[in-house]
Amino acid sequence: MLVELNKPLFVARAKRIYDGWLNATKNDDYASIADADGLIVLAGDPAPEDEPMRKGTCLQQWLLGYEFPSTMMLFQKDQISILCSASKGKILSQIEKAEGVVPIKLFVQAKGKDITTDALPLFFEQYCKSKRVGTFLKEQHSGKLIADWDKLCSGAEVKPELVDMSPAISSVMAVKDEEESKAVQVAGSLTSTLLKYHIAPKLESILDKESKITHDMLAAQVEARLGFGEGKDAKGPDMKVWSKNKNLDKVDWQLVEFCYPPIIISRSSKTGYDLRYTVESTEDNIAHKGVLLISVGMRYKSYCTSVGRTFIVDPKPEQEAQYSLLLSLQSELLSFIKDGVVSRDVYHHALSFVRQKDPNLEKHFVKNIGFGTGMEFRDSNYLLTPKNGHSLKKGMTLILGLGFTDLDDAGRKYALQLTDTIVVGQDQSALLTEGTKSTKDTLFFLNDEPEVVERKEKKPAVNARANGSPAKKTAGTKILRGQTRRAAQDEVHQTAAAKLLDHQKELHDKLQDEGLRRYSEDGVGTGVREGKTWKKFQSYKGEAALPQDVDRLRIHVDRKAQTVILPIHGFAVPLHVNTIKNVSKNDEGDFTYLRINFQTPGQMSGKKDDTPFEDPDATFIRSVSYRSPDSHRFDNISRQITELKKEANKREQQKKEMADVVEQGNLVEIKGRRPIKMSEAFVRPALDGKRLPGEVEIHQNGVRYQSVGAQKVDILFSNIKHLFFQPCDHELLVIVHLHLKSPIMIGKKKTSDVQFFREATDVQFDETGNRKRKHRYGDEDEIEMEQQERKRRAMMNKEVKAFAEKIAEAASTSLGEALELDIPFRELSFEGVPFRTSVRLQPTTECLVHLMDPPFLVVTLADIEIASLERVQYGLKQFDLVLIFKDFTKAPLHINSIQSSQMDDVKNWLDSVDIPMSEGPVNLNWGPIMKHVNENPYEFFQGGGWSFLGGVGGAESEGSEQSDSMSEFEAQSDDFAESSSEDESEFSEEDVASDDSDSYGDDDSDEGDDWDELERKAAKADARHAEDRKKGNRSDNSDDDRPKKKKAAAKSNKANGKSKR
């Protein structure tokens, strides 16, 4: 397909060159070409990818929209001459007759096998007509065309004088037009989105978990957000990151690239703190303390933007002050930089600002605070240095890079930087890149050790931080570990329930907006279920394939062809088993009747009601009946057809189950060294045969489990979605669990979870006695055994966790993107019934898991749309949790019978991971609800979306923290009976009977005490009666004063200990 050039754009931009050239004087930005009568742009072979883009290439793209290697352009005041190849000549012929600019003449060279033309000599002759020609003197080119050109120039007796036209061309391209401004804004949005939604959260996670990752690996993971791989293994842009910016929905991702490889620098970098853009990220592990510098630049339609940020872990007061000074300086320069300001004045103003605020930092201030940018990443003609005299104009884009270098912290050198891309305006400048630069986002506090010395020195009481960090202003900082403890002190005057309600309201509003945006008005979206399709069945390819028994015209069941052959009007008619609904047999007198029913449209058959047909309006046979005196034969036929139908249904079911099973690629074994192994490990699902331990090996692109026999299980890193490590604290197993993206087959079992584990118990340990028992009495030996058991568990946890971290590291290296090791938070766990038995469910950073016993449960939190708490009623000891997924075709997950005492914990956890939730008194029928949602998601969200579920009852959770006598539940007994079903109630029939008895109405108490409160009051009454007995003041009716178990509050006056005297 022929490349289409933008002719009007070429004319407009060529006119800008001629206007600046023809009106040039000795004192303006075009002074370098004021006396020139020609301008030439040379281009040889394409430059290497690691080399910065040349100004000549930038000029070609600016004029023509594309790069044209081995092409020369000569601008003269009466003509534009272009020397090019034959293929490029076809493209450039589109502008040959452009109006509004001087005439354009093409000098087209012949193809390789064609007869040589005189295009190059003629072009050189035209070039020699000029006496003084501007060119890019610093650029060096190579290639056959350049070699021929140099040969002509060296052999010419008279040739033009060459002058450098770089300053003039920079001035032409510096001011961006409307089309260029749009491209720069998109590039700025791309850079800001990558920083805000990937780099900053990723770095925060690394620091918080103290993950071991090298600088260059993190840089590679950042680059992978634009996609990686080639051919079938190629992956596109990571839309989980880019979709978070609404302005990037129309971006052409083929035109997006990085200006330079992302730069990650920390205290451990070999190169030190180098603020140049040519530095590379090193292979050292990232330091988790001190100063970290991040720089990343992105290019869209060849237009560049860049950001640079400083992150400080446990900053000292002077470091906070230095970084705050950079923030203030940037704000000051945004007001100072405007149309007409000279470059050197910008630098001097910045230096004087630093000198005024902190004179000691003047010597550490950078010597260059920025440069012009555009198609050329770094335009040296617009450097913001003390000596540059070029004026800035409205519409220019600059990369403003502020920083301090060679700073000292207890003998350690460090640097600070703050870089953003700005556009020069009439009265002030504006940011094109922003986000993640305030002290709240860039200063991290990870110091967990209490500073006892500081507390001893200060006699007055000081509100020390819960995590032990110094008492100082940290209002605008991030605190990672120990965050909950600090939050508990900071939020004393704000109730947790009120905060939860406010946050949930925000989440519900956001969910509704996202739902409307996700689905179009026609109801089509990512969660719409695909309709069933008509399947064609073929029994035989022709009459010759029919079995020989059909000649007898009797009913014949062909199991091989899955067909029943029926005699109809003297013909053998084969009918595939999938067309048969069922078969029935009846005996009437001397005859037996066999009735075969077929699948037809319009049958009320439950799930089969939506079975599609190729032509529902065709004529169908609903059933066929046969009569025979041979009852035994019809019994046999009926049984054969029924069994054939069962086999077909079973086969179809197995086919559906295996539909999502993937065939993994081959595992590439590691070469040159032994693989890292974990021995004495078992696997689940278990392999066939005797249960024996095996070894888990880490290879180049996956993990292999090798049993004692010949059996093995291979899992590729590309198929691992989540990786978990669960220690053996309070458990019998220490586990490495792999949750897969797509199921695989292990033996004959389909599974999405593979688990390697060791048993924490030591069965070989001798507990029958030894020499020590002769000299020890009491529990010393048992105490020692417990200590040894704890040591063994700790060693096993450490060993298996290190192996799991090796898996994560190998996977990250292989995939180019991080695979995080997730560890369950046991302190946040709760009991529930996701399947058939009650299990302990434990949240992790990204999931909710149960890993101890199969069936395993792994729910990715990012896949949850909303959580519904059901059976939330006063008096019920349990409630249910229903998780609705963003993929509406997936059935909601029901976690039943969670203890009501854990309701607040579950709510707080759901709220902390930004999952919207709702409460309801009864269980909902989610089948019809999800069917309605899937029919038209857009209409569902137009009608209010999930608002029908209601919000979160914050009063309930708040009331549970108050005393029971202050309960806010005042539901009447009739209301309670209506809203509670038989299977939900925790009371027996006697309880209901006692509630309905007359004694209930005679109750004097109106406090509505629950059983726990009654038990406590009864215990107090018993204790008081015991004291009375000791004093000899025993009451005659003391037996009646004791509370009787399983009695309602009918005799609450006695249960409360109010005995008659």
- Residue 461's φ and ψ, nearest 5 degrees, are -70, 130
C-alpha angle 393/193/431, rounded to 5°?
A: 20
Q: Quote the pLDDT of residue 600.
A: 82
Residue with structure tokens 């600088």? 215
Question: What pLDDT, in 10s, does the model give residues 832-863?
Answer: 999 989 999 999 999 999 999 899 999 999 99
Residue 748 C-beta-side C-alpha neighbours within 13 Å: 3
Q: DSSP secondary-structure letter at 761?
A: -
Q: Quote the pLDDT of residue 367.
A: 93
Domains delineated in the chain: 7-174 (3.40.350.10), 178-442 (3.90.230.10), 452-490 (no CATH), 495-526+824-986 (2.30.29.30), 549-605+620-648 (2.30.29.210), 676-766+796-822 (2.30.29.150), 988-1055 (no CATH)
| Amino acid, res. 395 | G
- In the structure encoding, which two tokens stand for residue 30, read together? 């075009």
- Is the pLDDT confidence value at 970 over 60? no
Cβ atoms 902, 890 nearer than 8 A = no
- Is the pLDDT confidence value at 516 over 90? no
Q: Quote the pLDDT of residue 1030.
A: 58
Helix axes 343-357, 317-336, angle to 10 degrees: 150
Residue 264, H or E segment: strand 256-265
Return the higher-pLDDT residue of 819 and 329.
329
101: closest CA among 80, 126, 120, 128? 80
Return the higher-pLDDT residue of 223 and 660.
223
Average pLDDT over residues 804-813: 88
Confidence label for 232 from pLDDT (cuts 50, 70 and 90): low
State the virtual CA torsion across 465, 471, 473, 477 in degrees, nearest 10.
-40
- Is the pLDDT confidence value at 996 over 90? no
- In the structure encoding, which two tokens stand for residue 858, read together? 């792994």
Stretch among 437-446, 988-997, 1037-1046 having the lowest mean pLDDT: 988-997
Stretch among 184-193, 397-406, 467-476 having the lowest mean pLDDT: 467-476
How many Cβ atoms are within 10 Å of 146's Cβ, its own excluded? 17
Question: What pLDDT, in 10s, does the model give residues 558-600?
Answer: 888 888 888 888 888 888 888 888 888 888 888 888 899 888 8
Confidence label for 650 from pLDDT (cuts 50, 70 and 90): confident
Return the higher-pLDDT residue of 452 and 32.
32
Cβ atoms 1038, 1024 nearer than 8 A = no
- CA-CA distance, 51 to 48, in Å (whole number)? 5
Q: Is the peptide bond before 685 cis (omega within 30 degrees of 0)?
A: yes
Question: What pLDDT, in 10s, does the model give residues 39-90?
Answer: 999 999 888 877 888 899 999 999 998 899 999 999 999 999 999 998 999 9
Q: How far is CA 923 from the centre of its chain?
A: 32
Helix axes 7-22, 55-64, angle to 10 degrees: 130
- In the structure encoding, which two tokens stand for residue 22, read together? 């023809």
State the virtual CA torsion across 160, 162, 168, 174 in degrees, nearest 10.
110
Q: Quote the pLDDT of residue 2.
A: 67
Question: What pLDDT, in 10s, does the model give residues 341-383?
Answer: 999 999 999 999 999 999 999 999 999 999 999 999 999 899 9
Q: Quote the pLDDT of residue 499.
A: 84
Q: Quote the pLDDT of residue 732.
A: 87
Return the higher-pLDDT residue of 789 and 375.
375
- Is the pLDDT confidence value at 686 over 90? no
How many Cβ atoms are within 10 Å of 408's Cβ, its own excluded? 9
- Is the pLDDT confidence value at 667 over 80? yes
- Is the pLDDT confidence value at 646 over 60? yes
- Prediction pTM value: 0.57
Cβ atoms 314, 447 nearer than 8 A = yes
Q: How far is CA 356 from the centre of its chain?
A: 45
- Is the pLDDT confidence value at 91 over 80? yes
Which stretches of 230-381 are DSSP H helices?
239-242, 317-336, 343-357
Question: What pLDDT, in 10s, does the model give residues 137-174?
Answer: 988 888 889 999 999 898 888 888 999 999 999 999 99
CB crowding 497-533: b at 16 or more within 10 Å, else e:
beebbeebeebbeebbeebeeebeeeeebebbeeeee
Q: Quote the pLDDT of residue 863.
A: 93
- CA-CA distance, 1029 to 1047, in Å (whole number)? 26
347: closest CA among 295, 393, 389, 395? 389
Q: Quote the pLDDT of residue 42.
A: 93
Per DSSP, the three-state class of 539 is: coil
- 22-36, 248-262, 536-550, 961-975: which has the highest mean pLDDT? 248-262
Stretch among 320-334, 596-610, 793-807 having the lowest mean pLDDT: 596-610
Q: How far is CA 1028 from the centre of its chain?
A: 68
Residue 811, H or E segment: helix 780-815
Q: Quote the pLDDT of residue 456.
A: 37
Q: Quote the pLDDT of residue 433.
A: 93
Average pLDDT over residues 901-915: 91
End-to-end, the C-alpha distance of the chain in Å comes to 107
Strands, sheet with 878-885, edge to edge from the N-terminal-most edge strand: 893-899, 878-885, 864-870, 917-919
How far is residue 122 from each of residues 81, 132, 151, measured CA to CA in Å? 10, 19, 15
Per DSSP, the three-state class of 52 is: coil
Task: Compute the Cα dihedral for 573, 578, 581, 586 and give only its sign.
Answer: positive
- Is the pLDDT confidence value at 460 over 60? no
- Is the pLDDT confidence value at 263 over 80? yes
Average pLDDT over residues 273-291: 91
Q: How far is CA 825 from the centre of its chain?
A: 20
Stretch among 391-400, 482-491, 870-879, 895-904 having the lowest mean pLDDT: 482-491
Q: DSSP secondary-structure letter at 446?
A: -
Cβ atoms 413, 406 nearer than 8 A = yes
| Amino acid, res. 854 | P
Q: List residues bridging with 41 in a β-sheet.
A: 73
Cβ atoms 38, 130 nearer than 8 A = yes
Average pLDDT over residues 1030-1042: 46
- In the structure encoding, which two tokens stand for residue 503, read together? 């946050």
**Mean pLDDT (the chain, rounded):** 81
- In the structure encoding, which two tokens stand for residue 286, read together? 């990232």
